[in-house]
């Protein structure tokens, strides 16, 4: 059972480039989310989804897009990368329809924007 799988694990971008961080879960969880972790700031919610076709903004959504076409996948798109988006990104899912309980996290994707 793979759980939550994120790809790539590492990525280096130049300012202005775009890219997509992939997230897939095989637990049939309705809730999926993206967090970013920065030193001294904990984990901050970027976007979340409570089911296929439904997405909403979190605490720090600017510069990011998401879509949820299937239950399993929840990609995060950086439209025009900026150095401020250098961070470690975590995808998380939950069997609840809301993300306020126990979350299952992926291993993270470390992004550096030059």
Partner 1 sequence: DQQVKQNSPSLSVQEGRISILNCDYTNSMFDYFLWYKKYPAEGPTFLISISSIKDKNEDGRFTVFLNKSAKHLSLHIVPSQPGDSAVYFCAASAPSGSRLTFGEGTQLTVNP
Binding residues for partner 1, rule: CB under 8 A, are 4, 33, 35, 40-45, 48, 50, 56, 58-59, 90, 92, 98-108
**Residue 24 or 92 with smaller CB distance to partner 1:** 92
Q: Are 47 and 31 in contact (CB under 8 A)?
A: no
Q: Give the nearer residue to partner 1 in terms of CB position, either 14 or 40.
A: 40
Which is nearest to 6 in space by CA: 35, 31, 48, 30? 35
Least Cβ distance, residue 66 to partner 1 (angstroms): 14
């Amino acid at each position: 059972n793979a759980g939550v799988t994120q790809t790539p694990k590492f990525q280096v971008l130049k300012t202005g480039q775009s890219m997509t961080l992939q997230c897939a879960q095989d637990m049939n969880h309705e809730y999926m989310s993206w967090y970013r972790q920065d030193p001294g700031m904990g984990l901050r919610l970027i976007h979340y989804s409570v089911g296929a076709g439904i997405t909403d903004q979190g605490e720090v959504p600017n510069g990011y897009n998401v879509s949820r076409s299937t239950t399993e996948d929840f990609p995060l798109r950086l439209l025009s990368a900026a150095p401020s988006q250098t961070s470690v990104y975590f995808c998380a899912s939950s069997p609840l329809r809301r993300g306020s309980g126990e979350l299952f996290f992926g291993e993270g994707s470390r992004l550096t924007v030059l």
